[in-house]
A and B are shown apart, each in its own frame.
Chain A
Amino acid sequence: MLKKYMRIALVSLLLIVVLGALPAFAQDEPVTITWFVGIGTGGAPEQREMQEAVVQRFNESHDDIQIELIIVENNVAVETLGTLIATGEAPDIVGPAGFAGAWAFAGSWLPLDDLIEETGYDLSQFPESAVEIHRTSEGLLGLPLANFPAFLYYRPGLFDEAGLEYPPAHYGDPYILDGEEVEWDVYTLREVGMRLTVDANGFDATEEEFDPENIIQWGFANQWAGPMRQNYTLFGAASVYEDNGDGTYTAVFPENWREGVQWFYNGIWEDHFIPNAAQVGSDLLGAGNAFASGNLAMAQSHLWYTCCLPDSDWDAAALPSYNGQTTARIHADTFRIMNTTEYPREAFEVLTYLTGEASLDLLSVYGGMPARPDDQDAFIATLDEKYPQGVNWDVVIESLAFTDVPHHEEWLPNNNKANDRLDAFQSLLESTPGLDLDAEIATLVSDLQAIFDEYSAGQSDE
């Protein structure tokens, strides 16, 4: 009996050794590059279909490299990717993903500078600003693929009803208020926003009879701008920390954002032209999709919001300036190579395929504006088909010249925890009247400092 088991064990061992050694003999075995989709967009059925088609096309035309596609649901993507990394099964390429998704895995991306130099990849096909937003202190971490600039969505019908001029169609143009040219800045936006905010009796927010308890139409909102830093870029780009250069970081609250917080908070609780959290969640404002409800006159949002507008009664305009300076925040999705990849050259080849030859197909389902200016006209033509009212897309492209640097999703020490604290602050402002803003900001800075210190301590332990 023992002999029988010994024999089985020996044969099994032999099989394992032979099968294990096979790949070494297989000279022509193609390299497999895994592409992980999930931490950004890419999970919708039509996106899956297109991604699979793009992969199939590549695989059919390449004998040396094969792409293996992994698509996971967005709500579990961070955990799944984290688990794959932890178990040594990290994919080679991840994306499409914006900065927020990428920073959740800060330090995991391969700088592309050497590969670009080695292969002679032509970066001049993109505007410099589109390339530079992907550059960090580690190097260039992605090739430009899709941009989602922010701009002002507005409803001409509501402006007509209020007898107001439309917001400027181009950056730098003035606004005509009561027949006079005024600067299109955050203070003008406040005035216009208040006139567009109407209660159930038809009074607007500038009138004494206005009843803030019965508002049925609001002037302005940051549409789907949950992350705190996204809300204050109207007041200029800024950072909430200073790098001391010795591995420690100091938490700060920029002065322009302090004013932004005051403007935003007053806009909700005193001027009433910005809806609060409960109002945004109400049926009057589409239970969260405020601008689409038709009861919001202006919204700052990104190009991706064209996904979710059911009607054609809207147009695009310039964002207002603050202290003579305009900032139009930007989201930019792309693919990144993980620094754990065993095949950086092959991964780079796949990356250039996804951001090059396959990019138009992919962008048609991702909904982003191509980073290559040559491809933008075709993209806008598809949007015109969807929204035939003649949207002012010029101002959307103009927004690309006013991007926020530092970016509102820039990496923070102890990134996820710091963002969580910032977002809690924003949520507090939107849901609580009567706050002492200076005290709340002081608490926020103190909490952020503790979060940054925790990160510094963790780094110095290693």
Chain B
Amino acid sequence: MTTAQDTSASATDTAPIATNQKKHRPTSQLEKMQRRWGWIFISPWIIGFLGFTLIPMVASFIFSFLKFTINHPEDIRFIGLQNYQNLLTDPLVGVSLGVTFKFALLSLPLAIILPVALAALLNNKYLRGKRFFRTLFYMPYIVPIVSAVYVWSGVLNTETGWLNRFLELFGIQGPDWLNSVVWIYPALVIIGLWGLGNSYLITLASMQGVPTELYEAATVDGANMWQRFRKITLPMISPVIFYNLILAVIGLLRYFEIPFILKEGTGQPGNATMFYNIHFYKTAFVFLDMGYGSTLAWLLFIITMIFTVLLFYTARYWVYYASGDVF
């Protein structure tokens, strides 16, 4: 009888020989044809990747060393690291990063906790009308972002908005949600919560995948509901929480559509919606300064990269993979 260990050892022994044989074996017509068709089939992706990702990235990297405004291409010239130096003196870089991180502080915990809470609620065996509620909570996600923002700007209007009217029922004078430098952030969070449908659905699917025998065993051992949730559910769905976290962080760093539609890209009130991407967009596409705009894009790329790497690094300490895989 051959053990698994033996098989593995023998495979390892023969591997170099197989590689050498492959190296010298002439390619058959069939292989050539398969290879050609392989390239043909993946060529749409390759063309798309080259045309819309790689070449623009390389181009923007080159632009970041140029003085280049697109309406005056005749003035284009190499200026070395000047655009990168400008990052240090441009007050809006600090302001826009500050705005982005301030919003993240408020929005990120909710973007992670709420889907889990919602999924736990909708996974509860005592809840009636589960399908109805699941559909209800997912539905806002399919509303186009532009429509959603217009709807919410009506709901949050100080004068005639439903939210302030509702608060008035309790004798509370509602704030000027959309024109106050303080209240605009909760307003943006509220609008953003409407888009939680996807992350809650993924979390719910993950929760439903947790083996029931784990809960049964824990119940037999005397664990209460909170202990079962904390010791079983949370670790088991941690890969999905991690996935949601990565998407939320990247989403925050490229946060653009809602403040842009809500405030027409003005950054108002008082630069409170001057998110980093709004600053980048205005520089490149309103002021048409492609050189400095590209530099801002690269700074964003670096910041996003740092956060993503940090998150992947920390994942090994809190994300549980049943298969043992670690990124």
Contact = CB atoms under 8 A, between A and B. Distances in A.
Interface of A: 78-79, 81-83, 85-88, 104-105, 107-108, 276-279, 281-284, 287, 416-417, 420, 423-424, 427-428, 431-432, 458, 461-462
B71 A108 contact: yes
B214 to A, nearest CB: 52
A427 B154 contact: no
Contact of B269 (A83, A279, A420, A427): A427
Contacts of A78: 285-286, 288
A458 B179 CA distance: 35
A82 B179 contact: no
A105 B72 CA distance: 8
Interface in B266-294: 266-271, 282, 285-288, 290
A282 B160 contact: yes
B253 to A, nearest CB: 23
A416 B286 contact: yes
Contacts of B73: 85-88
Contacts of A284: 159-160
20 contacts: A78-B285, A82-B70, A85-B71, A85-B73, A86-B71, A105-B71, A108-B72, A276-B179, A277-B179, A281-B157, A283-B159, A283-B160, A287-B153, A287-B154, A416-B288, A424-B268, A424-B271, A432-B179, A432-B270, A462-B75
B307 to A, nearest CB: 29
A200 to B, nearest CB: 11
A287 B149 CA distance: 13
The 10 nearest A-B residue pairs measured at CB? A82-B70, A282-B159, A431-B179, A278-B158, A282-B160, A86-B73, A283-B160, A86-B70, A427-B268, A282-B157
Contacts of A276: 179
Contacts of A83: 70
A10 to B, nearest CB: 25
Nearest to A106: B71
B160 A82 contact: no
Contacts of B286: 78, 416, 420
B266 A283 contact: no
Contacts of B154: 283, 287
Q: Does more than half of chain A's interface fall in helix, strand or loop, or is it mixed?
A: helix
Most chain A CB within a 10 A radius of its CB, from B72, B159, B269? B159
Interface in B107-163: 153-154, 157-161
A462 B286 CA distance: 22
A268 to B, nearest CB: 12
A431 B263 CA distance: 12
B178 interface: yes
Give the size range of B's interface with the partner. 20 to 34
Given A278-B157, A420-B286, A431-B179, A82 B268 contact: no
Given A281-B153, A431-B269, 20 more contacts: A78-B285, A78-B286, A78-B288, A79-B285, A81-B71, A86-B71, A86-B73, A104-B288, A107-B72, A276-B179, A278-B178, A278-B179, A282-B158, A283-B159, A283-B160, A284-B160, A420-B266, A420-B287, A428-B269, A432-B179
Interface of B: 67, 70-73, 75, 153-154, 157-161, 176, 178-179, 266-271, 282, 285-288, 290
Nearest to B176: A278
B94 to A, nearest CB: 16
A82 B68 CA distance: 11
A420 B279 CA distance: 12
A423 B266 contact: yes
A2 to B, nearest CB: 18
A83 B67 CA distance: 15
A80 to B, nearest CB: 10
Contacts of A85: 70-71, 73
Contacts of B285: 78-79
A420 B282 contact: yes
A88 B157 CA distance: 46
A132 to B, nearest CB: 25
Contacts of A79: 70, 285, 288
A301 B287 CA distance: 27
Nearest to A283: B160
B159 to A, nearest CB: 4
Contacts of B271: 424
Contacts of B160: 282-284
Contacts of A281: 153, 157, 178
Contacts of A88: 73
B157 A416 contact: no
Contacts of B71: 81-82, 85-86, 104-105, 108
Contacts of B266: 420, 423-424, 427
A138 to B, nearest CB: 15
Nearest to B268: A427
Contacts of A107: 72
Nearest to A215: B159
A277 B159 CA distance: 10
A428 B273 CA distance: 13
A374 B196 CA distance: 60
A431 B268 contact: yes
